[in-house]
């Protein structure tokens, strides 16, 4: 009987010792629990430069990022902010030509800027997406159709242009001239020889179109040697158009030679200008 009691007591002591955790074991257990808690709980983790929106998703915070200044031109090795460049002031005290009241003889150049409130009465869209004065649409279409029938392929690359668009183009060119080393005054003067000052461009009137050969679309003097230009230069007057800026008339037009720029003036006037080899300025001055 005593032996049974002793055995039971020993067994109980053994079980109690197996359930006890030593101080060292207790510390290890707490470390594991803390580590697990740290892995699972991200509530205290901060995400740098991020915000949480109402839906609980994170979005990048750009509130402290400043956008670079807008550039006024698209090409060139340097990109500087030339937004403060001012285009030449429009002339106000000018003598209007006698036939200026005829819509097809409207003159727009550096000496005769368009009125600030000028608007084209009605624009009509071409198949290329460009717009022209609706009154020249049919003659222009006939010219293009006949040109293609003659075996050449002219395409329109520019037509009506707003003053805002002209300002953008002008400033882009001025910026490139400045980047090439010119001061602002000389840059503006050089630009005005190749791009009309905003408010003085024929493109504002809807009466002018830039036409190039489909196989050579660069706007340079080589354009004159293309089949399309060779046909247009001797036939465009039949449809009421003239080559507006001839090579030998730069001193009169104020614009460099552009063997792609055609202006509608009406068939009778175009025939007179073509036969006499003069410009629109000279025609208006004589009439």
pLDDT tens-place string over residues 251-272: 999 999 999 999 999 999 999 9
Orientation of helix 137-149 relative to helix 227-235, angle to 10°: 130
CATH number reported for the structural domain that contains residue 228 in this entry? 3.30.1380.10
Annotated active-site positions, please? 258
| For range 113-118, the mean pLDDT | 93
127-186 pLDDT, tens digit each: 999 999 999 999 999 999 999 999 999 999 999 999 999 999 999 999 999 999 999 999
Could you tell me which residue, 220 or 52, shows the higher pLDDT? 220
The answer, yes or no, to whether residue 105 has pLDDT greater than 80, is yes
Q: Is the pLDDT of residue 281 over 90?
A: yes
Same-domain check for residues 280 and 184: no
| Statement to judge: residues 177 and 219 lie in one domain | no
Task: Say yes or no: 149 and 260 in one domain.
Answer: yes
Among 200, 190, 194, 202, which residue's Cα sits nearest to residue 256? 194
Lowest mean per-residue pLDDT among 89-98, 132-141, 175-184, 236-245: 89-98
Q: Are residues 186 and 269 in the same domain?
A: no
Q: 260 in a domain, yes or no?
A: yes
Mark whether 188 and 224 lie in a shared domain: no
Residue 278 lies in a domain: yes
Residues 209 and 230 in one domain: yes
Query: Residue 247 and residue 127: Cα distance in Å, rounded?
Result: 30
Per-residue model confidence (pLDDT) at position 172: 97
Q: Which of 179, 208, 175, 210 is nearest to 191 (CA)?
A: 175
The verdict on residue 271 lying in a domain is yes
Sorting pLDDT into bands at 50, 70 and 90, what band is 100? low
In terms of domains, do 211 and 140 share one? yes
Quickly count: other Cβ atoms within 10 Å of residue 103's Cβ: 16
User: Are residue 125 and residue 147 in the same domain, yes or no?
Assistant: yes
Out of 198, 221, 246, a domain closes at 198
- For residue 282, being part of any structural domain is answered with yes
**pLDDT band, very low/low/confident/very high, at 58 (cuts 50, 70, 90):** very low
Query: Which of 198, 223, 249 is the C-terminal boundary of a domain?
Result: 198
- What local confidence, expressed as pLDDT, does residue 18 receive? 41
- Whether 73 is in a domain gets the answer no
Query: Are residues 218 and 225 in contact, defined by beta-carbon separation less than 8 angstroms?
Result: no
Q: What percent of the chain has pLDDT over 70?
A: 65
Residue 186 shares a structural domain with residue 206: no
In-domain check, residue 157: yes
Give residue 207's domain range. 103-161+201-286
Q: What is the pLDDT of residues 193-214, one digit of tens each?
A: 999 999 999 999 999 999 999 9
Residue 87 has pLDDT above 80, yes or no: no
Per-residue pLDDT at 25 exceeds 50: no
Q: Are 207 and 126 within one domain?
A: yes
The mean pLDDT of 13-29, rounded to a whole number, is 42
Q: Residues 205, 262: one domain?
A: yes
Let me know whether 143 and 212 are in one domain. Answer: yes
Residue 140 Cα to chain centre, angstroms: 27
Q: Please check whether residue 146 lies inside any domain of the structure.
A: yes
Q: Is residue 23 part of a domain?
A: no
Please give the tally of structural domains in the chain: 2
């Amino acid at each position: 009987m005593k032996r049974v009691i002793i055995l039971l007591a020993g067994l109980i002591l053994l079980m109690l010792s197996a359930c006890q955790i030593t101080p060292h074991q207790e510390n290890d257990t707490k470390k594991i629990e803390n580590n697990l808690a740290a892995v699972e709980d991200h509530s205290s983790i901060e995400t740098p430069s991020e915000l949480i929106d109402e839906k609980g998703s994170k979005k990048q915070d750009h509130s402290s990022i400043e956008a670079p200044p807008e550039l006024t031109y698209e090409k060139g090795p340097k990109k500087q902010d030339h937004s403060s460049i001012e285009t030449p002031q429009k002339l106000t005290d000018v003598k209007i030509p006698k036939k200026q009241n005829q819509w097809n003889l409207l003159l727009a150049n550096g000496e005769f800027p368009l009125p600030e409130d000028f608007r084209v009465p009605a624009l009509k869209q071409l198949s290329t997406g460009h717009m022209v004065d609706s009154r020249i649409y049919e003659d222009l279409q006939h010219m293009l159709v006949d040109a293609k029938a003659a075996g050449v392929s002219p395409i329109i690359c520019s037509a009506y242009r707003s003053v805002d668009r002209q300002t953008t183009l002008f400033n882009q060119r001025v910026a490139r001239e400045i980047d090439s080393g010119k001061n602002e005054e000389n840059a503006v003067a050089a630009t005005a020889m190749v791009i009309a000052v905003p408010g003085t461009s024929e493109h504002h009137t809807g009466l002018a179109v830039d036409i190039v050969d489909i196989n050579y679309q660069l706007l340079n003097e080589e354009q004159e040697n293309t089949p399309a230009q060779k046909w247009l230069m001797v036939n465009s007057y039949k449809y009421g158009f003239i080559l507006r800026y001839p090579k030998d008339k730069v001193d009169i037009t104020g614009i460099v030679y552009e063997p792609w720029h055609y202006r509608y003036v009406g068939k009778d006037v175009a025939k007179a200008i073509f036969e006499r080899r003069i410009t629109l300025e000279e025609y208006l001055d004589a009439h």
